Amino acid sequence: MMTAQSFSTEIEVIDSHTEGEPTRIVVAGGPNLGSGDMLQRREIFRTQFDEFRSAVITEPRGSDVLVGGLLCEPPDSSYAAAIVFFNNTGYLGMCGHGTIGLMVTLHYLGRIGLGRYRVATPVGVVTATLHDPARVTVENVPAYRFRKQIIVEVDHYGTVVGDVAWGGNWFFLVKETPERISLDNVECLTRVTKMIEVALAKSGITGASAERIDHVELYGSGAAANADSQNFVLCPGGEYDRSPCGTGTSAKLACLADDGLLQPGQTWRQAGILGSCFEAHYERRADGAIIPFITGRAFISAHSRLLLQADDPFRFGIRG
């Protein structure tokens, strides 16, 4: 367990949103996770400093919708940054919208200019190109479809069919849904996707190494948003992604590529539940893996300090 000296009681953070989805980057006052690889650092974060996570991201200083990112010392000078993303319930492998927010944050701080940069994450190296102060393209880790057209029986709902795919996190992507993909239908969409998530676990449907599938994605027509499709994404912790979801769009590209419905370099416009869009395409490597490219915008919304007062009963957040 951590000690009182493990991290500062004054934490500097920068908030942004990427196409509507908020990100909070810890730029000072966080714990030192050492110099190991990023998976090791994430494990140190999880096992030794989880109270820091909840202090930053949960109420009363945060909210369930926030995704946090802890800036770490880069592995070497070839990296612009190293980061571990986290949310209201735990830790993420990668976060597409968060990486876009990270690059805009680093530019706001004056740490980077326009250009192409390497970022170390727990699931591998991603490359991000800052085109202007708000617009970023993320070259993600390789994405792939693990299982196709999996039938899942959902209690009190019925049968759904979807794909299990990796885009930096594990997703179950439901191709056809009777549910209306619209912001005014969020309550229903949240309920249905939570039921699907429970059914996946109950049925023993997992990722390639028995990982929990913690993102469920429904798709519909994107006509209303002038896009190729519009999605609703349930994130770990029970909140929905306000953006089109970078790792989810990466998983979607892998499925489209596997079905021969999208060619390398062809643009796919993915709308989220708010109608905001990511532009995406992929390249295919010599070994057959696809590399997703996700382009979106982020905007700085706050630069602040979080205070952890010793007599505050909720200084480490409201923990369920």
The pLDDT assigned to 193 comes to 98
Question: Rounded to 5 degrees, what angle do the CA atoms 72, 132, 306 make?
Answer: 40
The pLDDT assigned to 206 comes to 98
Query: Distance of CA 21 to CAs 179, 251, 285, 287, Å?
Result: 22, 18, 30, 34
Backbone angles phi, psi at 221, to 5 degrees: -60, 140
Number of CB atoms found within 10 A of residue 184's CB: 7
Radius of gyration of the chain (CA): 19
Question: What angle do the packed helices 246-258 and 96-108 form, to 10 degrees?
Answer: 130
95 included as an active-site residue: yes
235 included as an active-site residue: no
The pLDDT assigned to 191 comes to 97
From CA 72, how far away is CA 110, in angstroms rounded?
17
The pLDDT assigned to 221 comes to 86
User: Which positions of the chain have pLDDT values less than 70?
Assistant: 1-6, 320
- Whether residue 55 contacts residue 306, with contact meaning beta carbons closer than 8 Å, is answered with yes
pTM of the full structure: 0.95
Instruction: Choose the catalytic residue: 95, 235, 255, 277.
Output: 95
Q: Nearest to residue 82, comparing CAs of 97, 67, 94?
A: 94
Instruction: Choose the catalytic residue: 72, 235, 245, 255.
Output: 245
Question: Rounded to 5 degrees, what angle do the CA atoms 10, 11, 14 make?
Answer: 145
Query: By three-state DSSP, how is residue 11 classified?
Result: strand
Query: Distance of CA 225 to CAs 91, 183, 266, 282, 320, Å?
Result: 31, 12, 19, 22, 37
pLDDT digits (tens, 9 = 90+) for 136-195: 999 999 999 999 999 999 999 999 999 999 999 999 999 888 999 999 999 999 999 999
pLDDT digits (tens, 9 = 90+) for 47-58: 999 999 999 999
- Letter for the amino acid at 53? R
- Letter for the amino acid at 157? Y
